[in-house]
Amino acid sequence: MSHGSVLPIARRLAAGPAVVLLAAGLAGCGGGAVGTGGGDDGKKPVAAASSSSPSAPSPSSPSPASSAPQPAKSEPASAEPKGAEAAPAGDGPLRGKVVVIDPGHNIHNAEHSAEINRQVDIGTGHKECDTTGTETNSGYAEASFSLDVAHRLRAILQSRGAKVVLTHDGDRPYGPCVTERAEIGNKAHGDAAVSLHADGAEPGQRGFHVILPARVRGGAADTAPIVEPSKELGARVAGNFVKVTGSAPSNYIGHGTGLDTRGDLGGLNLSTIPKVFIECGNMRDAQDAALLTDGNWREKAAQGIADGITDFLHG
């Protein structure tokens, strides 16, 4: 199915100014990395693909990165893309929108194992506060990737007039915990949330996938109001991600749709606003890692996600 096929979803009805949460690798995001921990952003077994996800696009042909991967420590994770000056909030198509970007994991999490391993209530159970995330074989950390893409997203969304708030900017000793990440988005009264991630599955397992919230209820969790708009948001993000990056939907999660539904992630369970997570690729696969470590490709990834959010808000 072409990438455009996911876009004509039922139009979202919303009143008043919209707010977007960009949860970059929320500590509630899960992907397919085996062995990186069972926290809210811990990775699930790659076989657990959802059959209930709506169809997502498939690219005509994935485009390889145009430049070689950079060494893990040669590029600051938080560096802004060169030439990407952020316009003041208030101008552009996202005027009046607020975007909360949540860069997932934290590069310092490994130094605070006791804190990130403590259990937090995700409504339907308990999970770790946060996890360390995964990394490429050369040592480029998922936490560095998510923060870098978050900065690029911030620049693009601000240039479109959005007000952007980060849940952290690499300035915290660890975390924040998934509960706090979700709370920040909820308190922002957002209209959408997107969590940025990179997966850590087996080599040969390639491509991106977007995680949608399942219908769950328990404790503080009740996703019923956000399930349908989150499906639309996820489809629009997936469609634009294919269009801009040329990356293929995951070949190991989502049955080729690039979409997966999960009910075990606190970042989704505790959200009161439409939210999805995106695993941008598999850091443990050499071909995907070449993309994820390429600054030009990360700029494309940010552009595709930003376009999906913009489509969702104006759909």
* Residue 142 known to be catalytic: no
One-letter amino acid of 76? P
H or E segment and range at residue 81: none
Q: At what angle do helices 142-159 and 295-314 cross, to 10 degrees?
A: 50
Say if residues 256 and 58 touch (Cβ distance below 8 Å). yes
3-class DSSP state of 213 = strand
Q: Which burial class, exposed, middle or buried, applies to 119 when counting CB atoms under 10 A from its CB (0-12, 13-18, 19+)?
A: exposed
One-letter amino acid of 19? V
Kindly name the residue from 135, 232, 279, 299 that is annotated as catalytic. 279
| Cα Rg of the chain (Å, integer) | 17
H or E segment and range at residue 238: helix 227-245
CA pair distance 293, 140, nearest whole angstrom: 7
Query: Who contacts 85 (Cβ-Cβ below 8 Å, separation ≥6)?
Result: 155, 159
3-class DSSP state of 309 = helix
CA pair distance 91, 190, nearest whole angstrom: 19
Report the catalytic residues: 279
